[in-house]
Amino acid sequence: MNAYTPPNKTAALQSPSYSFRAIAKASNNTIADDKERWVVPPHLDGAKIKSVRFSNDTAGITGTQTCQLHNLTKAVDVLSTPASIQTTVKRDDGTSVVNKANNTVNAGDELRVDVDAIHTGTAAIGLTCQIEFDL
């Protein structure tokens, strides 16, 4: 008889993930810094950003959308390689790279989403940012 092994809740608590909307569900993506800001809560003081992912509600067509997470408080880009969302795909390809020199956050830090490039045929619609932390 196989024994039940419960999920490792401790691991999930050590790598919390937060999502927030950067562009409204019905709005076309446009190139601009400061599409949205998210303030780091007190319980994440000293945490390290482990990964950053972006997703659109409706995929764009032709070309690639690139997105950056910027720590406005510390005036540094969090990603050394920005996230890329390819044509006809709704989620980034997971190849963004977190800059380990810029990934520590403190309570009250303002993180902003920058859209550096959009699809050249039809712009994607809506944008959500997901940040995973190591405590």
Name the band, by pLDDT with cuts 50, 70 and 90, for residue 59. very high
Domain total for the chain?
1
| Closest to 90 measured CA to CA, from 121, 115, 127 | 127
Residue 132 makes CB contacts below 8 A (sequence gap 6+) with 15, 16, 17, 49, 50, 51, 52, 53
Asked whether residue 49 is assigned to any structural domain, the reply reads yes
Asked whether residue 8 is assigned to any structural domain, the reply reads no
Residue-by-residue DSSP string for 54-121: EE-SB--BSS-EEEEEEETTTTEESEEE-EEE-TT-SB--S--EE-TTS-B--TT-EEEEEEEE--SS
72 in helix, strand or coil? coil
Asked whether residue 5 is assigned to any structural domain, the reply reads no
Asked whether residue 10 is assigned to any structural domain, the reply reads no
Asked whether residue 26 is assigned to any structural domain, the reply reads yes
| Per-residue model confidence as pLDDT tens digits over 86-124 | 999 999 999 999 999 999 999 999 999 999 999 999 999
CA 62 to the chain's CA centroid: 22
β-partners of residue 71 are 76, 111
Helices (H), the chain: 9-14
Asked whether residue 11 is assigned to any structural domain, the reply reads no
Asked whether residue 4 is assigned to any structural domain, the reply reads no
Q: Does the pLDDT at position 1 exceed 60?
A: no
Q: Does the pLDDT at position 78 exceed 70?
A: yes
Q: Does the pLDDT at position 13 exceed 70?
A: no
Name the band, by pLDDT with cuts 50, 70 and 90, for residue 15. confident
Q: Which one-letter DSSP state was computed for residue 58?
A: B
β-partners of residue 129 are 20, 54
Asked whether residue 35 is assigned to any structural domain, the reply reads yes
Residue 126, domain CATH: 2.60.120
Residue ranges making up the domain that contains 46: 16-134
Token representation of residue 124: 């994607």
- For the entire predicted model, the pTM comes to 0.89
Q: Does the pLDDT at position 49 exceed 90?
A: yes
Neighbours of 19 (CB within 10 A): 13
